[in-house]
Amino acid sequence: MIVAHVDLDAFFAAVEELENPELRAKPLVVGGDPHGRGVVATANYEARKFGIHSAMSCAEALRRCPHAVFVRSRHSLYREYSQVVWETIRGVVPTVERTGLDEGYLDVGEVASDFLQARWIAEAVQVSVRAATSLTCSLGVSSSKVVAKVASDYRKPGGLTVVPAGTEAAFLAPFDVRRLPGVGPKAEARLRAAGVTTVGALAALGDVDLRRLLPGSVGTLLRERARGVDRRELELSTARISISVENTFERDLTDRRRLHDELRRMGGAVAEHLRESGRTARTVTTKLRYTDFSIRSRSTSLRVGIDDGSEIGELACGLLDRALRDRPGALRLVGVGVSGLSDFRQLAFPAVSDDTFGHYPSGVSTPRRPL
């Protein structure tokens, strides 16, 4: 098995910097109220120089860096960027296990036959993510999830570390024992009290000492991981959950008619994919990328699935207009996507969006406005 762990660098803070480039040179903390009981969600690398890290209280972060800029988390915005990132990654490595908005595992062995090719694939992932979003990511590549996870953190930000088969234990050995996934605070305290401070020292423990320090199956599992052995397979989801088409323009566009024409064309292309697969879609999404690379998306959901290109195109145009009302500006990219896929058709009812309400047949309840 060849697996990669990908981790977006200071993801929330990086998105905030894209949205407001003036923040890039400043210590930036994303989280709660520094004058209340807020907690740091993440911090950019400038703020980390002051010892600020995730899960620290915002009050402590403010004490360590009084001139830091604090912004509230915007999870809906981060989800939009995350969706683009993972769609981009799947264009290089089709099968992934997402473990969060900003990290996950890739089945690199699906597209690479050895670790040299795996390095090329990992580099392609980094380049693709940077081109699509201006975000950077770090990757670790190895024969198991645990080693790949440690390797992805080795050269952050923007790093790439490949640990070929046979070198896993030697790579892990010098790391502090707390860096090994699965070693929690209690296990760390027990190991340190016994002088076991590195992953290599944990790997070298004999059975008697291991049972004394970490009784039960947990100790055996952690020792195996310390030796680079991790039998977990990726929790893969190969079912296609969305279909999308997008286009980057040679010149930034503001002409609404041309943008609508492009979206209608994409709606037809998406519909063709749906019909070929014998499926319908209940949700239509329009994606916009502005000249500063910031991303917005707007979606509308339907009571039943559709596969009609003209209907998808018209819905996409309406979503574009709504997004441009919220934030006008020239666009470098637009896209149309559908999700909520189904293998059967039903009688159609009117569309339900988050800001449009129509008249419904008798017996059909009116949708509630999302909170």
Domains, the chain, ranges and CATH?
3-11+76-162 (3.30.70.270), 12-75 (3.40.1170.60), 168-226 (1.10.150.20), 242-352 (3.30.1490.100)
Q: pLDDT tens-digit profile of 148-202? A: 999 999 999 999 999 999 999 999 999 999 999 999 888 999 999 999 999 999 9
Under the banding of pLDDT at 50, 70 and 90, the label for residue 239 is low
Please write the tens of the pLDDT for every residue from 7-30.
999 999 999 999 999 999 999 999
Q: Model confidence over 106-162: pLDDT tens digits?
A: 999 999 999 999 999 999 999 999 999 999 999 999 999 999 999 999 999 999 999
Active site (annotated) includes residue 80: no
CB distance 84 to 130 below 8 Å: no
pTM summary value? 0.69
Taking only the tens place, the pLDDT of each residue in 321-344 is 999 999 999 999 999 999 888 875
Single out the catalytic residue among 60, 97, 103, 272.
Answer: 103
Q: What was the pLDDT predicted at 237?
A: 55
For 9, residues 6+ apart whose C-beta sits below 8 A from its C-beta are 45, 135, 136, 137, 138, 156, 157, 158
**What is the DSSP secondary-structure string of 149-213?**
HHHHTTT-SS-EEE--TT-HHHHHTTSBGGGSTT--HHHHHHHHHTT--BHHHHHT--HHHHHHH
- pLDDT at 366 > cutoff 50: no
Q: Check pLDDT > 90 for residue 347.
A: no
Of the chain, the percentage scoring pLDDT greater than 90 comes to 66
DSSP conformational letter for 108: G
Provide the mean pLDDT of the chain.
Answer: 88
Percent of the chain with pLDDT over 70: 91
